Amino acid sequence: MEPPSKVSLLTGVVGLTTKSTFSYYFRGPRCHTWPLWFQLYRNAMFYIVKRTAYVNASEHNIDAIDFVLLHANNRKFDMPSAKMPANMGKFERGSFPVDQVEIDTGIFANIGPAETGLVLLTEADKKTRGRQIPYDILVPKHFVKTKGAFECKPLKQSERIVMYMHGGAFTMGSPASHRGLTGRLVHHSGARCISIDFRLAPKHPFPAQLHDAYISYQYLILQGFKPKDIVLAGDSAGGNLAITLTLLLRHIGATMPGGLVLLSPWADVASERPSILANKKYDYLYPLPIENPTCQSRVFYAPGRKLTEQLKKELKHPLVSPVNADFSGFPPILMHVGSKEIMADDMDEMYQRMLATNSKNRANITYESYPDMIHVFHQFHDLPCAQKAYTSIGNFINSL
């Protein structure tokens, strides 16, 4: 279970960069539209993801896997902090106590595999009291000097706010790792953004992330924001969470948010669709098979639990894999996908399901596929496709 050292990884990345540069000029780019710097980034990310994966874990040694150590190693090799461009605005860190949001656990009845966990997590918060949910609040430049700009309260009547949920397979990442992305989001939309620092697996497995997202949504409403003025947004696992939160809100009869922005959302945590193999040579993700107990889906959902037909069935539940959801009654949706993502087929199928189950509001579903782009390409801010995507996000949010 011991991962490689940071020195070993750095040495490997340096050697890989030299090799990749020669390959780019003598064999040509991996994808004909990619600039050199982008290919180097992609190759380095793939190398690190693969080297830090536990490829030899199996059902035979599942009892010997130390998931506490795995969680610590995820923190050790977590995504680095990113900067919010100073010319786009500012951010501040904050937190709020979860006991400000009163929850009747009866609302979770019949919600599926999340029911027991949501009830237990709510009861635990009531017993211990004092738990906080940290967040970033990001403010566009024109709001920075406004009184109260860094408080989670509306600055004006019907002010729109973005509630952002970061990616990282629910095991890594933070608001800090996504400030480059969220900073550009607020710049292009002109809206403030609260980026939630939800709990991570395996220390806090499913449905802790959904629990934190629900509390955060209700907290914004308690602060005076109207549901129609809240836009749920997220990339990868955060996109998954934006959808599953909306499913939960619909289940309990709560007022829906104003819209959803989904950037390369994790649609199916146990996918076996063709793009996984077809785009493997392009994307930087390195998915472990479901038979590996340390694959991201099992670590997120049920760390240490042996693979059974029942577990496979639960991983297909819409609150876990929203590709299987019924999207009727959903608010307007914007979804971005890169054509070279290993999960491209999952997102395409989810889009088709959105159209099929939300036929009355098809015009409110916008699906944009960006040619030759990989998973959450928005983080490569200098790419023309990324800049086009940010403009699209800003236009969508302002159209709501």
* 232 φ/ψ angles, rounded to the nearest 5 degrees: -85, 130
Counting DSSP H helices and E strands in the chain, the numbers are 12, 8
332 and 393 Cβ atoms separated by less than 8 Å = no
Q: What is the dihedral of CA 114, 120, 121, 123, to 10 degrees?
A: 140
297 and 272 Cβ atoms separated by less than 8 Å = no
- For residue 60, the number of C-alpha atoms closer than 13 Å in the C-beta half-sphere is 1
CA 257 to centroid of chain Cα atoms: 18
Q: With DSSP H G I counted as helix, E B as strand and the rest as coil, what are the percentages for the chain, rounded to 5?
A: 45, 15, 40
The rounded distance, in Å, linking the Cα atoms of 277 and 357 is 29
The rounded distance, in Å, linking the Cα atoms of 72 and 168 is 15
* 160 φ/ψ angles, rounded to the nearest 5 degrees: -85, 140
216 labelled catalytic:
no
Query: Given 174, 314, 321, 341, which residue is catalytic?
Result: 341
The residue type of 299 is V
For residue 366, the cross-strand partners are: 334
For residue 43, the cross-strand partners are: none
Token duo for residue 222: 């308690």
Query: Given 177, 236, 271, 297, which residue is catalytic?
Result: 236
Closest Cα to residue 106, out of 211, 256, 252, 317?
A: 252
275 and 344 Cβ atoms separated by less than 8 Å = yes
Token duo for residue 95: 């937190």
In the three-class reduction of DSSP (H, G, I as helix; E, B as strand; rest coil), residue 375 is classed as coil
The rounded distance, in Å, linking the Cα atoms of 111 and 312 is 18
In the three-class reduction of DSSP (H, G, I as helix; E, B as strand; rest coil), residue 154 is classed as coil
Token duo for residue 203: 């220390």
102 labelled catalytic:
no
Query: Given 187, 211, 336, 375, which residue is catalytic?
Result: 375
378 labelled catalytic:
no
Q: Which residues are catalytic?
A: 236, 341, 375
